[in-house]
Amino acid sequence: MADGKRIDEATGTSTVGHEWDGIEELDTPMPRWWLYTLYATIVFAIAYCVAYPAWPLVDRATHGVLNWTSRSAHAEEMRTEGARRAPTIAALARIPIERLPEDSKLLDTAVAGGASAFKVHCVQCHGSGAQGFKGYPNLNDDDWLWGGDLKAIEQTLRNGIRQPGNEETRTSMMPAFGRDQILTPAQIEEVVSHVLTLSGREKPSAASRRGAAQFATNCAACHGAGGEGNRTLGAPKLTDAIWLYGGDRESIRQTIHNSRNGVMPAWGSRLDPVTIKMLSAYVHSLGGGEDFVPPAPKPSTAAPSAEAAATAARTKNGKP
Amino acid sequence: MASPDDLTGPKIKLFEAREKIFPKAISGNYRRLKWAIMAITLAIYYVTPWLRWDRGPYAPDQAVLVDIANRRFFMFAIEIWPHEFYYVAGLLIMAGIGLFLVTSSVGRAWCGYACPQTVWTDLFLHVERLIDGDRNAQIRLQRAPWTAGKVAKRVTKHGIWLLIAVATGGAWIFYFADAPTLARQLFAGDAPFVAYATVAILTATTYVLGGLMREQFCIYACPWPRIQGAMLDEKSLIVTYKYWRGEPRTHGTKRAGEAARRPETDHGGDPQPGVPSLEPIDVAAQMTARIGDCIDCNACVSVCPTGIDIREGSQIGCITCGLCIDACDEIMDKIGRPPRLIGYSTVADEFAAAEGRPTESVARRLFRPRTIVYFLIWGSIGLAMLFALGTRQRLDLSVSQNRNPVYVRLSDGSVRNAFELKVRNMQSRPREVEVSVSGVPGAVIWSANGSRANGASTLRMNLPADQVAKTRLFLAAPEAGPARSELTFSVRALDAEGGQASQTSFFERPEAGQ
């Protein structure tokens, strides 16, 4: 019906040539500005295809003359952020961990950074609130197996616990008294009774008195004569209310029978020293952190951290 | 074939072209009032940011400062924190009700005298008259060809307008930063970008609204004339043409006698050529009996800044600035007629006056239920805010319990909870406070940088001036007790001024047997 085109008298505009029940459509031209906008978008689209990755090919897309990629953009942003953080990282790398509390701003930064790193590396065992689980210590409390000052925590983090091949790792070995038949089941039962009296969970009895003798022979070397523990060996204090593997009779019986030797990775081989410092600061900030007490004699090369831990342990035991 | 125009008739226009207005200069009481109000309002606007107010070493010394970066609002002795923004909301409500109050008592006085659009337009009009001359000269210049002189005048006028606009935009930003510092930065070129952008935007709006749009803004854009149209009633003060005095108009005094000889005159229209009456005429009597005071000189129209004819009655374009009153009084004086043919009056009064009844006294018009109710609402909000301001606490604390973990068992068997403690010191000086806790027997508290060994039942804190002090607070208590017990944290200022605040939270322990 193209021949139906005619000029509409009222408007002077051509019709498109269709007609339905007497209704026709005017072929009104588009507004100029609209048309120019359309042309502008076409020009933009072409320019975009030339400048940016646009056309998908078999195993990649066209590169575009600007060579822009989302990965390089991300890398660039990371570089910028890295440059922004560099002075703080450098300051953290420079400062000895035990002197971190002197710079409260740097300490706050370290704690914040440690909180982030903790969420990535530590929560799997210690929990998102560092509250721990059976066998995985609660880092909020004031009980430390290997020492709770900044330097001791950093040492533990860097070298891990019972990591073969690491010279400085925290290590000790509790014998499996039952499994290796060092003690008979009846003797173990008596030692359990004695251990339960140490923290006041049970009243002294004839059995516990017999157990005390066994304790003095087999356990006191590491746990101390009164069960006060020894941080150099990671031997837990048996007189307090915190039981990593449970403080009921059955749990303690199992512990003595099979022994417990928990492990932790040596993060020094996986994380950079600054991240470890930040993690130490964070763990220390959770509420149980202890003050660093410098060892009394001149710093020796032997094992200052162990000494520090021992000192801290002494200080702590001396507390009311 | 008929042309398209024959079918559709005259072209329908989507908008009406503006008829440019050339308001004539006038002097008189209302003009003087307008000058005075313009001077006061402009002075307030330009001077306020430069006023100083000593608040001591820890707070800015600018009397009025909206410190967006630090989220503080200073107004003389009052400092408002973000959580106290309801004071600003209260002020806005008061401003709204204040407009109602003003409208019901003195009509659109805001529009006519104090509205920034009116004040700046008035200023721009004055500049225009200084450069181009008065109304007639302006009209002549508008029609004149583009000679060098006309170009020079136009350039000068728009130049001065732009200068005023820049000064307007420039003054605005001083409310948001320390004025002397920002002024130096502004001229040195190292002020923040947002300052320059704000100046640019406000320069553009001032120039466009005051110089180009003028009355069109009031008539087409501003919602206030519409709201006021709904708020005005027959007892509201408006600028009124006293039709009962003015009508029938005569077109100039010369025609008065001619008109007087005619028995009938169209109401308000031009005198129709008619047949002279055969009755003997007492011209003098006819003059007073039949001829209105309005001589149709159009003085009221030519001075009107919105270009309306007040004799058509109250209308949306009338901002009740009173300039037509000044213009008409001048004419009435010249032709020996009493003044106030146009004047401030109410519709009710005009009806009464037309019928010869007594009009209401000013006092009765002002003190009617509507104005009294508005005033009471407005006043009680103001009093309530003043009371709140006078008694508000400048010390506050908020405590939230750390939920991960909820509690920690310590080696001596006691239980520790952690809280995030925030203490707001809203005074502009450092203060020492004591935080205490009640509700948990044997509780010991210490902050994140303290230790349990030196923990006590209270905790002293040194609060920095005008800031929120945050710390993690540890609380340890004996194991024995309910699994969940309510406790109250209180903060008490230790200085002479005193003051305290408290908030409840919870202390949680392991369930018995765990």
User: What percent of chain A is helix, strand and coil (3-state, nearest 5)?
Assistant: 50, 5, 45
Question: Is B412 within 8 Å of A11 when comparing Cβ atoms?
Answer: no
* Boundary-marking domain end, from A258, A273, A292: A258
Same domain, A284 and A236: no
pLDDT at B246 over 90: no
Residues of B with CB under 8 A from a CB of A: 1-2, 4, 7-8, 404-405, 408-413, 416, 418, 448-449, 451-453, 474, 479
Question: Is B411 within 8 Å of A11 when comparing Cβ atoms?
Answer: no
Ranges in chain B annotated CATH 2.60.40.10: 395-508
Q: What are phi and psi of B239, to 5 degrees?
A: -80, 125
By the 8 A CB rule, do A206 and A226 touch?
A: no
A12 contacts in chain B (CB < 8 Å): 4
Is A144 domain-assigned? yes
The runs of H, that is alpha helices, within chain A are 32-51, 70-94, 104-121, 123-126, 150-159, 185-198, 206-218, 220-223, 249-258, 273-285, 304-318
Is A164 domain-assigned? yes
Residues 6+ positions from B34 with CB-CB distance below 8 Å: B112, B113, B122, B321, B322, B323
Output Rg (C-alpha) for chain A, integer angstroms. 36
Q: What is the 3-state secondary structure (H, E, C) of B453-505?
A: HHCECEEEEEECCCEEEEEEEEEEECCCCCCEEEEEEEEEECCCCCCEEEEEE
Q: Looking at CA atoms only, how far is residue B505 from chain A in angstroms?
A: 20
B413 contacts in chain A (CB < 8 Å): 240-241
Q: What pLDDT score does B14 carry?
A: 52
- The total number of structural domains in chain A stands at 2
Question: Is A142 within 8 Å of B410 when comparing Cβ atoms?
Answer: yes
Question: Looking at the DSSP assignment, which residues form a beta bridge with residue B73?
Answer: B66, B80
A319 contacts in chain B (CB < 8 Å): 453
The pLDDT tens digits of the residues spanning A165-220 come to 899 999 999 999 999 999 999 999 999 999 999 998 999 999 999 999 999 999 99
Angle between helices B116-132 and B148-173 (to 10 degrees): 150
Share the mean pLDDT of chain A: 89
**Is the CB of residue A103 less than 8 Å away from at least one CB of chain B?**
no
Question: Is A141 within 8 Å of B410 when comparing Cβ atoms?
Answer: yes
By the 8 A CB rule, do B402 and A287 touch?
A: no
Helix or strand or coil: residue A149? strand
Across the interface, which of A11, A240, A291 has its CB nearest the CB of B412? Answer: A240
Same domain, A248 and A276: no
Phi-psi region of A229 (alpha: psi -120 to 50; beta: other; left: phi over 0): left
Q: Which pair of tokens denotes residue A133?
A: 């689980």
pLDDT > 70 fraction of chain A, expressed in percent and rounded: 92
Same domain, A203 and A241: yes
Annotation-wise, does A125 bind a ligand? Answer: yes
- What confidence category does residue B367 fall into, taking pLDDT thresholds of 50, 70 and 90? confident
- What confidence category does residue B514 fall into, taking pLDDT thresholds of 50, 70 and 90? low
Q: Looking at CA atoms only, how far is residue A149 from chain B in angstroms?
A: 13
pLDDT at A47 over 50: yes
Distance separating alpha carbons of residues B349 and B319, to the nearest angstrom: 20
Q: What pLDDT score does A153 carry?
A: 96
Short-list B352, B502, B350, CA closest to B423 = B502
**Is the CB of residue A138 less than 8 Å away from at least one CB of chain B?**
yes
A130 contacts in chain B (CB < 8 Å): 405
Same domain, A109 and A227: no
Question: Is B4 within 8 Å of A287 when comparing Cβ atoms?
Answer: no
Q: What pLDDT score does B273 carry?
A: 44
Same domain, A277 and A142: yes
Question: Is A128 within 8 Å of B404 when comparing Cβ atoms?
Answer: yes
Q: What are phi and psi of B430, to 5 degrees?
A: -70, 150
Q: Which fold has domain B395-508?
A: Immunoglobulin-like (2.60.40)
Across the interface, which of A128, A141, A291 has its CB nearest the CB of B408? Answer: A141
Nearest 5°: the CA angle B346, B350, B355 is 150
Same domain, A81 and A161: yes
The pLDDT tens digits of the residues spanning B22-40 come to 999 999 999 999 999 999 9
Is A88 domain-assigned? yes
Residue of B nearest to A243 (CA): B411
Share the mean pLDDT of chain B: 86
Average pLDDT over residues B241-251: 83
Question: Is A127 within 8 Å of B405 when comparing Cβ atoms?
Answer: yes
**Is the CB of residue A293 less than 8 Å away from at least one CB of chain B?**
no
Question: Is A141 within 8 Å of B4 when comparing Cβ atoms?
Answer: no
Helix or strand or coil: residue A141? coil
Same domain, A98 and A223: no
Same domain, A153 and A205: no
The pLDDT tens digits of the residues spanning B101-144 come to 888 888 888 999 999 999 999 999 999 999 999 999 999 999 99
Report the half-sphere exposure of B317 (CA within 13 A, side-chain side). 15
**Is the CB of residue A237 less than 8 Å away from at least one CB of chain B?**
yes
The pLDDT tens digits of the residues spanning B466-509 come to 999 999 999 999 998 899 999 999 999 999 888 899 999 999 99
Distance separating alpha carbons of residues B365 and B373, to the nearest angstrom: 14
Question: Is B8 within 8 Å of A319 when comparing Cβ atoms?
Answer: no
Question: Looking at the DSSP assignment, which residues form a beta bridge with residue B425?
Answer: B395, B467
Average pLDDT over residues A47-75: 92
Least confident segment among A235-249, B4-18, B454-468: B4-18
Q: Which pair of tokens denotes residue A313?
A: 């342990």
Residue whose structure tokens are 């209401």: B360
Q: What are phi and psi of B43, to 5 degrees?
A: -65, -45
Report the half-sphere exposure of B402 (CA within 13 A, side-chain side). 22
Report the half-sphere exposure of B405 (CA within 13 A, side-chain side). 20
Same domain, A121 and A77: yes
Q: pTM of the predicted model, to two decimals?
A: 0.73
Bigger pLDDT: B250 or B205?
Answer: B205
Q: What pLDDT score does A32 carry?
A: 85
By the 8 A CB rule, do A154 and A277 touch?
A: yes
Residue of A nearest to B5 (CA): A10
B411 contacts in chain A (CB < 8 Å): 141-143, 237, 240-242
Bigger pLDDT: B207 or A312?
Answer: B207
Distance separating alpha carbons of residues B240 and A96, to the nearest angstrom: 86
Question: Is A241 within 8 Å of B410 when comparing Cβ atoms?
Answer: yes
Across the interface, which of B7, B404, B451 has its CB nearest the CB of A9? Answer: B7
Short-list B423, B441, B404, CA closest to B492 = B423
Q: Looking at CA atoms only, how far is residue B65 from chain A in angstroms?
A: 30
CATH code, A247: 1.10.760.10
- What confidence category does residue A6 fall into, taking pLDDT thresholds of 50, 70 and 90? confident
Residue of A nearest to B414 (CA): A241
Is A162 exposed, middle or buried, given 0-12, 13-18 or 19+ CB atoms closer than 10 A? Answer: middle
Domain of A124, in residue numbers? 73-169+263-318
- What confidence category does residue A313 fall into, taking pLDDT thresholds of 50, 70 and 90? very low
- Residue B345 per-residue DSSP state: E
pLDDT > 70 fraction of chain B, expressed in percent and rounded: 88
Least confident segment among A189-193, A238-242, B434-438, B447-451: B447-451
Q: What pLDDT score does B260 carry?
A: 53
Q: Looking at CA atoms only, how far is residue A65 from chain B in angstroms?
A: 33
* Boundary-marking domain end, from A258, A277, A294: A258
The pLDDT tens digits of the residues spanning B308-359 come to 999 988 888 899 999 999 999 999 999 888 999 999 988 888 889 888 888 8
Amino acid at B76: F
- What confidence category does residue A257 fall into, taking pLDDT thresholds of 50, 70 and 90? very high
Q: Which pair of tokens denotes residue B122?
A: 């008035």
Across the interface, which of A11, A127, A142 has its CB nearest the CB of B411? Answer: A142
The pLDDT tens digits of the residues spanning B40-83 come to 999 999 999 999 999 889 899 999 999 998 899 999 989 999 98
**Is the CB of residue A168 less than 8 Å away from at least one CB of chain B?**
no
ipTM of the complex: 0.76
Annotation-wise, does A122 bind a ligand? Answer: yes
Distance separating alpha carbons of residues A88 and A109, to the nearest angstrom: 8
Same domain, A273 and A229: no
Best mutation site among B1, B8, B409 for testing chain A: the one with the most A CBs within 10 Å?
B409
Annotation-wise, does A74 bind a ligand? Answer: no
The pLDDT tens digits of the residues spanning A75-116 come to 999 999 999 999 999 999 999 999 999 999 999 999 999 999
pLDDT at B236 over 90: no
Question: Is A141 within 8 Å of B452 when comparing Cβ atoms?
Answer: no
Count of A–B CB contacts within 8 Å?
Answer: 55
Annotation-wise, does A18 bind a ligand? Answer: no
Question: Is B410 within 8 Å of A143 when comparing Cβ atoms?
Answer: yes
Annotation-wise, does A264 bind a ligand? Answer: yes
The pLDDT tens digits of the residues spanning A218-231 come to 999 999 999 999 99
A143 contacts in chain B (CB < 8 Å): 410-411
* Boundary-marking domain end, from A227, A258, A289: A258
Annotation-wise, does A194 bind a ligand? Answer: no
Amino acid at B266: D
Across the interface, which of A9, A131, A287 has its CB nearest the CB of B1? Answer: A9
Best mutation site among A6, A7, A9 for testing chain B: the one with the most B CBs within 10 Å?
A9
Same domain, A120 and A151: yes
Best mutation site among A26, A149, A242, A251 for testing chain B: the one with the most B CBs within 10 Å?
A242
Same domain, A248 and A271: no
